Amino acid sequence: MPLPLFAAILIGIGAGSVVGISVLVGLVKQSGRKLSKPPPNPPLSRQKQTSTLQLIETARKELNMDVVHFYNFGICGAQNAGKSTFINSLRLLDDVNNDTEFRYNMFGPAPTGENQTTIEKQKYRFPPGRSSSDPRSDRSSIQENEDFYPFEHVMVWDIPGCGTRDHPVATYFKREHLAAFDCLVLVAATATLGEYERHILQEIDKSKTSVIIVINKRDGCIEPKCRKKFGRHYQPALHDYKLIITEIINEAKTAVQDSLLDLNLTQTPEVFAISAYNYRDYMFRQTKTELDELFTFEFGDFLKCLTNAAEERRKKNT
Ligand SMILES: Nc1nc2c(ncn2[C@@H]2O[C@H](COP(=O)(O)OP(=O)(O)OP(=O)(O)O)[C@@H](O)[C@H]2O)c(=O)[nH]1
Ligand SMILES: [Mg+2]
């Protein structure tokens, strides 16, 4: 969203909503608390295995995955969908470029960019709370409090995007060992799922891995929709934006459901329409705006869903 428009929205809204943030804090805390202990029932090697279990165990070995101390979530999807940005936003970190100065650090940000940025899989943990001596700590009153974000037993894996020469979709599932994860998050930048997403979903379903679909970059739909609905010169009010954002979320979910119809998956993946940008902005901002809240709530619900999926998987001990 261009800055003048965003500034106009902020001016139009004024002080934020206290009710909104407290509900969101509740949702995040609830999810965090559940994932703040090592996962129960770490899957053990078995003598007799079905081919699916074998696939999972081989994939975990290949990734050297710690399934005893961590819940492992894989973020997959097509190139440029916003996977790495999503991972940074979730962990309340700013984006960085993949330049010569970048050094991978498990607690640091994932590099982001328009052109095939994530080349190799990398795993990330949630950074510990910031101390007040951190020069950036004024940006976030939230992350200073470790109680709020207690995801210390969560490992989030940033997986290279598919659909490139180096990562063709046909071999993506196997090559990236997607069967290994407690839950996969398929990130897409458009709500009508294309060939890549459909192929990945079918492979995921065959392996019986849980998957959640996240349609990212929904902030990009706000301005075109406003222009179409209200014309170039109209300055939309808060309730106009609320309507538009609600429409964007609902339309994205319906488009995904339609795209799933002929795939005949055995699971019905939950779908969330988000803006990785808006969530992070909302969490960082001292003054919360009602506008960002709508996308932000999708994030809260997403966390809850992810937690439940991980719990279910561990209950099954696979
Ligand atoms: N407007 C908008 N842009 C976003 C959002 N999330 C990501 N982007 C932009 O989309 C581009 C791609 O983001 P990445 O996070 O690097 O995408 P990726 O899926 O990790 O890409 P690969 O690693 O190359 O597969 C970057 O320019 C991001 O800044 C969002 O929520 N809103
Ligand atoms: Mg990436």
Q: How confident is the model at residue 268, as a pLDDT?
A: 94
Residue identifier of the C-alpha nearest atom 11 of ligand 1:
114
What pLDDT score does 139 carry? 44
Nearest CA to ligand 1 atom 10: 82
Span 186-198, pLDDT tens digits = 999 999 999 999 9
pLDDT at 52: 82
What is the model's pLDDT at position 294?
Answer: 74
Q: What's residue 36's pLDDT?
A: 81
Instruction: Kindly give the number of the ligand 1 atom that is closest to the alpha carbon of 1.
Output: 1
Note the pLDDT of residue 200: 97
pLDDT at 156: 97
Q: Which residues contact 46 (CB under 8 A, 6 or more apart)?
A: 53
- Å from CA of 214 to ligand 2 middle: 15
Low-confidence ranges of the chain (pLDDT < 70): 1-21, 44-49, 129-148, 286-288, 291-292, 317
Ligand 1 binding site (Cβ under 6 Å of any ligand atom): 79-85, 112-114, 116-118, 160-161, 216-217, 219-220, 275-277
pLDDT of residue 133: 46
240 C-alpha to ligand 2 centroid (Å)? 33
Write down the pLDDT at residue 9.
37
| Angle subtended by helix axes 222-230 and 238-260, to nearest 10 | 110
Tokens describing residue 189: 């930048």
What predicted TM-score, i.e. pTM, was given to this entire model?
0.88
Q: What is the pLDDT of residues 204-235, one digit of tens each?
A: 999 989 999 999 999 999 999 999 988 888 88
3-state secondary structure the chain: CCHHHHHHHHHHHCCCCHHHHHHHHHHHHHHHHHCCCCCCCCCCCCCCCCHHHHHHHHHHHHHCCCCCCCEEEEEEEECCCCHHHHHHHHCCCCCECCCCCCCCCCCCCCECCCCCCCCCCEEEECCCCCCCCCCCHHHCCCCCCCCCCCCCCEEEEECCCECCCCCCHHHHHHHCCHHHCCEEEEEECCCCCCHHHHHHHHHHHHCCCCEEEEECCHHHHHHHHHHHHHCCCCCCCHHHHHHHHHHHHHHHHHHHHHHHHHHCCCCCCCEEECCHHHHHHHHHCCCCCHHHHHHHHHHHHHHHHHHHHHHHHHHHCC
Q: Ligand 1, residues 85, 120, 124: which to mutate, most atoms within 8 A of Cβ?
A: 85
Ligand 1 atom nearest residue 274's Cα = 31
| Residue to mutate, 80, 120, 277, 281, ligand 1, most ligand atoms under 8 Å from C-beta | 80
Task: For the chain, list the domains and their CATH numbers.
Answer: 3-36+61-129+148-316 (3.40.50.300)
Query: What pLDDT score was predicted for residue 173?
Result: 96
Distance from Cα 272 to the centre of ligand 1, integer Å: 17
